Amino acid sequence: EELYGFKRWGDGHFAVDNEGFATVQPLGDERKIRILDVVREAVGMGLSAPMVIRFQDLLRNRVSQLNEVFAKAIKEEDYPGRYRGVFPIKVNQLREVVEEIIEAGRDFDYGLEAGSRPELMIALAMHEGTKRLIICNGYKDLDYLRLALLGRKLGKQVIIVVEQLSELDDIIALAAETGVEPMIGFRAKLQTRGEGKWATSTGDNAKFGLNTAEILSACEKLKASKLSDCLRLVHFHIGSQVPNILTIKNAVTEASRFYCQLHKMGFPMGLLDVGGGLGIDYDGSRTNFESSMNYTMAEYARDIVSNIREICTAEAVPPPDIVSESGRAVVAPHALLVVEVVERINKRESLGKHRQPAEKHAIVSSLEATLQNRPRLGKLERFHDAVQKKAEAFSLFNLGYLDLENRAAAEQLFWQICEQIAKEIKKTGYVPEELHELNKLLADQYVCNFSVFQSLLDHWALGQLFPVAPLHRLTEKPSVDAILVDITCDSDGKISRFIDLQDVQDYVPLHPLGNKPYYLGIFLTGAYQDIMGDMHNLFGRVNEVHVFLEDDEEDGFYIEESISGSSVGEVMEDVQYQQADLCRRMKRQIDSATRKDVLKPREGIRLLELYERQLRNKTYLGTEPFSTRPK
């Protein structure tokens, strides 16, 4: 449990039971589900890994938590306004996720945020009643604005956040044309710099927002067109996953000043929208390191409420209702990706037993001497020797002076020396700087049946870290240091950086593979990862199951819904290949081979069937029993 940090990053939702199984406590109370039980049930339904498991109760729990911490902060601070949060659809657009959030947010009037026209279409249709907000961000064409006004006609509180000055001209023209009174917000380009991987969302070079002069021009335009009463909100967004609470305090202070100034200019206002940015502590270190955060959700709410109040009191402006657009913090914890390890690649073992070339080259003898010279030479000296001699062996090979047998022997000896040094380091504990990389070099590769590009895009694109841990065997001491590689034919398709309390770790300790499936969980993947994935190598969407707590069930859960991952035929159609056309082309070639007697007719039919069946198959590696695979 300690080793993988379940308690640290799990935030009361993830743990390990006495028998070494990873568990989830969706509501943070004593009710637990063994994650491997869900995997087994899904496999029984024909849905094998890779799969996404969504714990719907955990999702609801996060919605309540967010709303409750703001309600508590408002009460404690005796704040006169309300909290009116919205969920940004971009963070996870899946209908079942959005529906669950809307349902869970009913008592809190929790609304939706859209960042594009398609997202606004979801928001308008899924949104209930007229009490919840719909906030419209992103680039907007006329149709986007028409849809927002449609929402207004239905009595919904749809707020168009002006991100570019030109949008305001369109809004003014459409309002005049349709006679619908829009609700308008301004997105301010704050000077407060964000922090972390998504810091460029604000500042002079940010893509979005109005600078101070533009805000003043926008105010003049509103007044000139007699739409002053429509300005209701100031918005900012300093980037996702803000690790440091000080950044948030500063941004809120700056935005509150904007709010107060606009209020004093006579606009009705009423809402201050603090955007997203509320973090997730992916490594559990509670620091301002970029995968973490140095504050809690409750502290976030308290700081926002108290900072806004302080500024408004100083400016003698009535405090606004507070809107936030937290996405990551609401959805990240509810989903995890389950992958199965299908193979272990060990550099030294893959080179086989120690080879003795028929005619041993001097460079091989020299490496042997380094290996045997342990008592005389220090670790670092042996490492330098080995690196230099390996390089020499490769140049000798390139020049034609070393045969394959001797090259293989040289490679084996190099890795043996590295292993010997690594063992000594483990015993002494002291690691000279240059040898830091050694464990990384020596780490095994565990091949996992998934695609980083489909399921963990932010890890590949931005080096974002996610907790990785086995779902079982957690009472057994792990003995293999490994990195994870996926099944795409891309060397970037791997996870080779892992969470650690102190720093990033270059490998994760795992268990040796046996003859039963070995499953790993990649946790906290419910935000952004599902939707941003791409089809590299035509690996498509993974299987998915949606799990609910169930008191009457023996295992304490039931799978309410399952979504089958993409079939080969489906991903083919995405890139314009029609399944029937592909089959016709194959049939033509098989028929021709049969006519030429290259194939027997019966064999031809069998091969065509194989091809056709594959169109219905999933895109990931098949599910033949692990024990029958060659080790």
Sites of contact with ligand PLP (CB under 6 A): 88, 91, 113, 137, 237, 240-241, 275-278, 325-329, 527
What helix, strand, coil percent values describe the chain, rounded to 5? Answer: 45, 15, 40
User: Would strands 444-448 and 335-345 be described as parallel, antiparallel, or unpaired?
Assistant: antiparallel
Min dist CB 247 to ligand PLP, Å, is 12
Q: Is 489 a catalytic residue?
A: yes
Min dist CB 275 to ligand PLP, Å, is 5
Q: Closest-CB residue for ligand PLP?
A: 276
Is 621 in contact with 449 (CB distance < 8 Å)? Answer: yes
Give 16 or 278: the residue with its C-beta nearer to ligand PLP. Answer: 278
Min dist CB 141 to ligand PLP, Å, is 18
User: Would strands 508-510 and 444-448 be described as parallel, antiparallel, or unpaired?
Assistant: unpaired
- First CA to last CA distance, the chain: 29
Give 39 or 330: the residue with its C-beta nearer to ligand PLP. Answer: 330
Report CA Rg, the chain: 29
Give 88 or 319: the residue with its C-beta nearer to ligand PLP. Answer: 88
Nearest-angstrom CA–CA distance, 321 and 271: 5
Min dist CB 115 to ligand PLP, Å, is 6
Residues near 237 by Cβ (< 8 Å), separated by ≥ 6? 137, 187, 201, 202, 208, 275, 276, 277, 325
Is 67 in contact with 110 (CB distance < 8 Å)? Answer: yes
Residues near 513 by Cβ (< 8 Å), separated by ≥ 6? 341, 344, 446, 631
What tokens were used for 240? Answer: 């996702």
Give 90 or 389: the residue with its C-beta nearer to ligand PLP. Answer: 90
Nearest-angstrom CA–CA distance, 183 and 161: 9
Nearest-angstrom CA–CA distance, 551 and 199: 44
Give 164 or 537: the residue with its C-beta nearer to ligand PLP. Answer: 164
Is 11 in contact with 1 (CB distance < 8 Å)? Answer: no
Nearest-angstrom CA–CA distance, 627 and 505: 31
Torsion sign (Cα): 480, 484, 485, 486: positive
Give 48 or 137: the residue with its C-beta nearer to ligand PLP. Answer: 137
Q: Which helix (H) or strand (E) holds 543?
A: strand 543-549
Q: Return the residue matching tokens 């996992």.
A: 448
Min dist CB 529 to ligand PLP, Å, is 12
Among the listed residues 136, 260, 489, 583, the single catalytic one is 489
What tokens were used for 103? Answer: 């349902």
Give 192 or 240: the residue with its C-beta nearer to ligand PLP. Answer: 240
CA angle 233, 235, 240 (to 5 degrees): 155
Min dist CB 159 to ligand PLP, Å, is 12
Min dist CB 201 to ligand PLP, Å, is 6
Give 113 or 506: the residue with its C-beta nearer to ligand PLP. Answer: 113
Min dist CB 119 to ligand PLP, Å, is 11
DSSP 108: G
CA angle 84, 85, 86 (to 5 degrees): 125
Min dist CB 238 to ligand PLP, Å, is 9
Nearest-angstrom CA–CA distance, 206 and 377: 56
Give 115 or 540: the residue with its C-beta nearer to ligand PLP. Answer: 115
Three-state SS at 484: strand
Min dist CB 72 to ligand PLP, Å, is 20
List helix spans (H) across 316-449: 328-331, 347-350, 362-372, 379-398, 404-428, 438-442
Q: Which amino acid is at 397?
A: F
Torsion sign (Cα): 191, 197, 200, 202: negative
Nearest-angstrom CA–CA distance, 289 and 292: 5
Greatest alpha-carbon span in the chain: 94
Min dist CB 185 to ligand PLP, Å, is 11
Give 124 or 293: the residue with its C-beta nearer to ligand PLP. Answer: 293
Q: How far is CA 130 from CA 155, 158, 163, 178, 272, in A?
A: 6, 9, 24, 20, 19
Give 34 or 334: the residue with its C-beta nearer to ligand PLP. Answer: 334
What tokens were used for 290? Answer: 């970029």
Reading phi first (left if > 0) and then psi (alpha if -120 to 50, else beta), residue 109 is in left
What tokens were used for 196? Answer: 């972390």
List, by residue number, the catalytic residues.
489
